[in-house]
Amino acid sequence: MADALRSYSGPLLLALLVHLAALTALHGGWFPGVEPESRAIKPNLVQSQLIVMQPKAPPKPKPKPAPKPAAEAPKVAEPEPKAQPEPRRNREAERQRKLAEQALEDQRRRLAELAQNSFAQALAEEASELAADQDLSAAQSFRFGIYQRVVANWSRPPSARNGMQARLLVELIPTGAVVGVTVVESSGNSAFDRSAEAAVRKARAFDVPREPDLFERHFRRFSLLFKPEDLLR
Amino acid sequence: MPEQISIFELVANASLLVQLVMALLALASIVSWMMIFQRWFFLRRVANEVNHFEDHFWSGVDLRELYAELEGQDDLTGIETVFVAGFQEFVRLSDQAGAEVDSIMQGVQRGMRVALNREEERLATHLAFLATVGSTSPYVGLFGTVWGIMNSFRSLANMSQATLASVAPGISEALVATAMGLFAAIPAVIGYNRFSAQVEELMKRNEAFSDEVTSILHRAAQARSS
């Protein structure tokens, strides 16, 4: 029994290692899709930090000379105990060093704060961009629904020709009901314009997102472009 | 590409049955890898033992001495048991008075055949498991995938706006099961083929060796009877 255990424990360990390696490979961006995301974040952060560093560059020389006296001070201080008669200078050096250290500390803290702020800002920007992207894809699906409804309700007049296009401005209320249709850009053929307008009016209401924010941004007023080719597909 | 769902999130969000299938496949994969490593080391060791023993056997050692030496040992290797089984039978039968050469040789062959069968069994343990994993885990994975896709399409029926984005995660999640099934099956199949070929080769060597021992003992029996 113990013999069997010994002969299987090694292989078991190796087997677990193989799976662990496979898992880390999965996690660590084996997939091409994972990498672009991290790449997209990195440049943002690097850029924002660079911008912050530049105005900070002039004050930087200050702290640099400061630590040098601080570094020299102990050198001075070392021979000092031998020549004890001058404790005052010693104290003076001590005070100067403390001041320099404090200045350095302040500088460092401010720098860290700035870096953190810019980091948080970059994160917020990133998040809002992501949210906007998501909104866009959600809006896209609703837009497709509107397109389908309009197409279903549109009967093309016989006088319609390829190359014509009419732009309509549609106004909705949050329930999705159509409250206004105006021809913004005429096709030059009044029958075609009227048919387009009728298509929207016949639809009466569209599916719109429940989120008021998304609705206000994309669906309160939007324009529809009518082309006769759309129906020929 | 706004966001990428990680594989781990997909697995965590999968339905219970799909998760069970994945767990089963992960377990099968781990165990089959364990068997692969175990068989690998074991068969390599056995091949070394066979080489070593054959070298020793053909180095002109006296067979009685070799037998006496091996009989005292506890842990005999496979090919050694074959030799000991045959020689033991030979010694026992030829000690009986009036034993015919043919009956002695039949006894020797029978003893060695039993030892050979036992050795083959020992070499081929776990190979059946590898074969099972290799042939069934793709189907198990497919089952998980079909189930997952079925569910994701069923939930699609309730939506008013059907977009690709609403089905894609479900399908992707379901496909993970197939990937896992293949991940478990491929090494198992390769391992099975490789190891069964190795076992066959070792058994051929063992059989050839037992035939050689038989012919040597046959000569000895005839020399004694005449």
Sign of CA dihedral B196, B197, B200, B201: negative
Range among A150-159, A200-209, B110-119 rated most confident: B110-119
pLDDT higher than threshold 50 for residue A197: yes
> What is the nearest CA distance from A127 to chain B, expressed in angstroms?
11
List chain A residues with CB under 8 Å of B129: none
Residues 6+ apart with CB under 8 A from B43: B123, B195, B198, B199, B202
Q: What is the model's pLDDT at position A48? A: 52
Domain boundaries, chain B: 7-225
ipTM of the assembly? 0.75
Which of 101-160 (A) contact B at CB < 8 A? 130, 133-134, 137, 140-142, 144-145
B4 backbone φψ class: left, alpha, beta (φ>0; ψ -120 to 50): beta
Q: Which amino acid is it at B193?
A: N
Chain A residues 158-197 with a CB less than 8 Å from chain B: none
Give residue B203's pLDDT.
Answer: 94
Which tens digits make up the pLDDT trace of B121-172?
999 988 999 999 999 999 999 999 999 888 888 887 777 666 777 778 788 8
Identify which has the larger pLDDT, A79 or B33. B33
Facing A34 at nearest CB: one of B4, B26, B37: B4
- Chain B CB contacts of A207 under 8 Å are 160-161
pLDDT at A44: 46
> So what's the pLDDT on residue A93?
86
Start-end of H helices in chain B? 7-13, 16-57, 63-71, 78-95, 101-123, 127-156, 164-225
- B163 chain-A contacts, CB cut-off 8 A: 137, 140-141, 144
Instruction: List b or e across B44-73, with b for residues whose CB sees 16 or more CB atoms inside 10 angstroms.
Output: eebeebbeebeeebeeeeeeeebbeebeee
Q: Decide: B80 and B46 in contact? Cβ < 8 Å.
A: no
Name the residue of chain A whose CA is nearest to B5's CA.
Answer: A34
Which CATH fold topology does A154-232 show? Answer: 3.30.1150
Tens digits of residue pLDDT in A25-71: 887 765 555 444 444 444 444 445 555 555 555 555 555 554 545 44
Of B36, B27, B28, B25, residue with least CA distance to B127: B36
Residues of chain B with pLDDT under 50: 1-2
Check: CB of residue B214 under 8 Å from CB of residue B105.
yes
Q: What is the pLDDT of residue A54?
A: 52
- H or E, element range at A185: strand A178-185
* Side chain identity at residue B90, one-letter code: F
Minimum CA–CA partner of B184 in chain A: A19
Contact partners, residue B130, CB within 8 Å, separation at least 6: B32, B35, B36, B39, B188, B189, B191, B192, B195
pLDDT (tens digit per residue) in A100-139: 889 899 988 888 888 888 888 888 888 888 887 777 778 8
Q: Which residue has the higher pLDDT, B111 or A75?
A: B111
CB A114 within 8 A of CB A52: yes
User: Domain map of chain A by residue range?
Assistant: 34-136, 154-232
Both structure tokens of A151: 């197409």
Residue located via tokens 């045959």? B86
Predicted TM-score of the model (pTM): 0.55
